[in-house]
């Protein structure tokens, strides 16, 4: 595999709680968690093979309501593209695998036989051969994996939790891809996304409605699993609805006027002290004498 593989902690906040200030002790160094989005904090330091194999517990110094940040011990992780920015190339462990989304299975080598059986049964498919790295010799990545069948009954594998995690939870979903995303969310006018209806039925009934005036923008039958363009006539919020075999899926698209672009605030910078200098990413500054 070209390039080094790195896995980082991506802390999740307690359900229905997200504290503004959280300090975690990791290997004797204190790290402040920075809120990234509802329910998640910015990624922290990378983990090593021992932590991936055995899991880890990191003491939380503050607030008092929290005690420990836990990296659970698992035999596999399902790594899914960031739903807010799928083109970034970053994959993260989310709750479930969205239908039609290629993902990565990070697993221990002993699970390969289970995956091969699911592939032989035409339940999943992936690209290439499972690959590993020098840093994590007991683990492999199965890339571009997709669920391709809704019929999982009667197929048994040794690790039942892997079967349950991969088994599709939905039969129909809507994906938005491409276009030019606005920093505050949504897409810029004239650069809206393509839409794909993912599902096991061959076709689905599609409706696109502008929410501000309930204007129907598009209403027709579309083949599933094939991307198509939508003309987004004006900035605003749009509701997309797909219906097939008595199942319904909905999602929203926000089109943002170029005149409404907002500057993205700079997050708290994490500086590294280095021989009288301060380093942050590509920014190198002379440290003030008074600091």
Strands 194-199 and 203-210: unpaired
Distance separating alpha carbons of residues 256 and 258, to the nearest angstrom: 6
Residue 44 lies in a domain: no
Residue 15 lies in a domain: no
Question: What is the reported pLDDT for 262?
Answer: 75
- 182 and 225 inside one domain: yes
pTM: 0.78
In our burial notation (b when 16+ CB lie closer than 10 A, e otherwise), range 149-166 reads: eeebeeeebebeebbebb
Distance separating alpha carbons of residues 227 and 229, to the nearest angstrom: 7
Distance separating alpha carbons of residues 218 and 209, to the nearest angstrom: 7
- In this prediction, residue 75 has a pLDDT band, given cuts at 50, 70 and 90, of very high
Query: What does pLDDT average to over the chain?
Result: 89
Query: What is the total count of domains within the chain?
Result: 2
23 or 278, which is more confident: 23
- 228 and 178 inside one domain: yes
Residue in 15, 14, 33, 34 with CA at minimum distance from that of residue 25: 33
- 158 and 96 inside one domain: yes
CATH code assigned at 232: 2.60.40.1930
pLDDT digits (tens, 9 = 90+) for 38-71: 888 888 889 999 999 999 999 999 888 999 999 9
The pLDDT of 129-148, averaged and rounded, is: 92
**Residue 106, both tokens:** 């990070």
Residues 88, 93, 98, 103, Cα dihedral to 10°: 60
Range of the domain at 201: 172-260
CB 33 within 8 A of CB 9: no
Distance separating alpha carbons of residues 219 and 206, to the nearest angstrom: 6
**Residue 282, both tokens:** 């590509």
- 107 and 181 inside one domain: no
CB 267 within 8 A of CB 257: no
Distance separating alpha carbons of residues 160 and 28, to the nearest angstrom: 37
- In this prediction, residue 16 has a pLDDT band, given cuts at 50, 70 and 90, of confident
pLDDT digits (tens, 9 = 90+) for 154-198: 899 999 999 999 999 888 999 998 999 998 889 999 999 999 999
18 or 137, which is more confident: 137
- 208 and 250 inside one domain: yes
User: Cis omega before residue 63 (within 30°)?
Assistant: yes
For 218-223, the CB contacts below 8 A with 24+ separation are 222/197
Residue 244 lies in a domain: yes
- Domain boundary among the residues 166, 200, 228 is at 166
Residue 246 lies in a domain: yes
- 177 and 162 inside one domain: no
Residue 120 lies in a domain: yes
- 80 and 155 inside one domain: yes
- Domain boundary among the residues 166, 201, 229 is at 166
Residue 187 lies in a domain: yes
Q: How far is CA 106 from CA 2, 16, 72, in A?
A: 17, 28, 14
Residue 190 lies in a domain: yes
Residue 100 lies in a domain: yes
- 113 and 97 inside one domain: yes
Residues 172, 184, 45, 136, Cα dihedral to 10°: 30
């Amino acid at each position: 595999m070209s390039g080094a593989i790195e896995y980082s902690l991506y802390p999740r906040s307690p359900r229905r709680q997200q504290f503004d200030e959280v300090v975690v002790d990791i290997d004797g160094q204190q790290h402040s968690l920075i809120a990234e989005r509802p329910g998640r904090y910015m990624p922290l330091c990378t983990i090593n093979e021992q932590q991936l194999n055995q899991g880890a517990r990191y003491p939380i110094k503050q607030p008092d309501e929290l005690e420990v940040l836990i990296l659970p011990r698992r035999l596999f992780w399902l790594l899914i593209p960031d739903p807010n920015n799928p083109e970034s190339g970053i994959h993260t462990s989310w709750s479930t695998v969205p239908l039609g989304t290629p993902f990565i299975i990070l697993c221990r080598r002993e699970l390969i036989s289970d995956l091969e059986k699911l592939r032989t049964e035409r339940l999943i498919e992936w690209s290439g051969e499972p690959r590993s790295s020098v840093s994590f010799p007991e683990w492999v990545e199965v890339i571009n994996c997709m669920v391709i069948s809704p019929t999982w009954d009667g197929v048994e594998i040794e690790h039942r939790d892997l079967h349950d995690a991969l088994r599709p939870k939905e039969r129909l979903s809507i994906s938005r891809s491409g276009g030019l995303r606005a920093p505050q969310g949504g897409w810029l006018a004239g650069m809206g996304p393509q839409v794909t209806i993912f599902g096991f039925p061959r076709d689905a009934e599609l409706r696109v409605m502008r929410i501000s005036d309930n204007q129907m923008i598009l209403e027709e039958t579309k083949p599933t699993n094939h991307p198509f363009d939508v003309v987004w006539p004006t900035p605003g919020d749009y509701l997309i609805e797909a219906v097939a075999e008595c199942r319904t899926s909905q999602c929203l698209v926000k089109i943002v006027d170029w005149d409404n672009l907002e500057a993205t605030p700079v997050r708290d910078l994490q500086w590294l002290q280095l021989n009288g200098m301060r380093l942050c990413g590509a920014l190198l500054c002379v440290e003030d004498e008074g600091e």
